[in-house]
Copies of this chain bind each other. A is one copy, B any other.
């Protein structure tokens, strides 16, 4: 009932995360109804996305094709002896936005999850262990997600690093009550973590 080209666009957009057939149809029809420039812009940017973005061989953050190493890592104002370890490149952006961190990053590329076939050798652990020695690192801050996989990854990392470098400080982000949230709506696990990690006023 719909033209082939519209069906093709719908099925292509349907591969986006969390986008089902109905939403994809809505996106395609919206683009069709509006200025062709919007469609062309998406088309152009996505066509060259994979060729214009690469990963930094040192930190595994996303960098432009014309960069050698992540600009943040090259920045003399950043302290290379403190590494903050995140799962994904976007997590790095979230931390950077706080403006509180002056060290450098290391992107693991995911979290250990045997059920999804993500074993430690598929993540950038090896390179992190090497970096600790190369850059004479004093502290590794583990900032994996607060999920089962993230916690397992943190434990694995702690185990691997403390075995090799007994003097290395290994920390992780505080668990507790997020800002602006009502105590009554906070889940049991978060509350018990907040209690355990309480700080002196």
A interface residues, Cβ below 8 angstroms from B:
1-6, 8-9, 12-13, 15-17, 25-32, 36, 38-50, 52-53, 62-65, 67, 72, 88-90, 92-93, 96
Q: How many identical chains are in the complex?
A: 2
User: Contacts of A96 on B, CB cut-off 8 Å?
Assistant: 1
User: Contacts of A39 on B, CB cut-off 8 Å?
Assistant: 46-47, 49-50
What is the bound-complex CA distance between A67 and B6, given in angstroms?
14
Best-surrounded residue of A1, A2, A41, A65 (most CB of chain B within 10 A): A1
Contact assessment for B89 and A12 in the assembled complex, using a CB-CB cutoff below 8 Å? no
User: Contacts of A4 on B, CB cut-off 8 Å?
Assistant: 52, 64
A interface majority secondary structure: helix
Report 21 cross-chain contacts, Cβ distance below 8 Å, ordered by A residue.
A1-B72, A2-B62, A3-B63, A4-B52, A4-B64, A5-B45, A5-B48, A5-B53, A5-B65, A9-B45, A12-B41, A16-B30, A16-B42, A17-B26, A26-B90, A29-B88, A29-B89, A32-B53, A32-B62, A36-B49, A36-B50
Contact assessment for B63 and A49 in the assembled complex, using a CB-CB cutoff below 8 Å? no
User: Contacts of A53 on B, CB cut-off 8 Å?
Assistant: 3, 5-6, 32
What is the bound-complex CA distance between A53 and B4, given in angstroms?
8
Contact assessment for A93 and B1 in the assembled complex, using a CB-CB cutoff below 8 Å? yes
Contact assessment for B30 and A17 in the assembled complex, using a CB-CB cutoff below 8 Å? yes
Q: Which of B13, B29, B43, B48 contacts A47 (CB 8 A)?
A: B43
Contact assessment for B3 and A64 in the assembled complex, using a CB-CB cutoff below 8 Å? yes
User: Contacts of A31 on B, CB cut-off 8 Å?
Assistant: 16, 46, 49
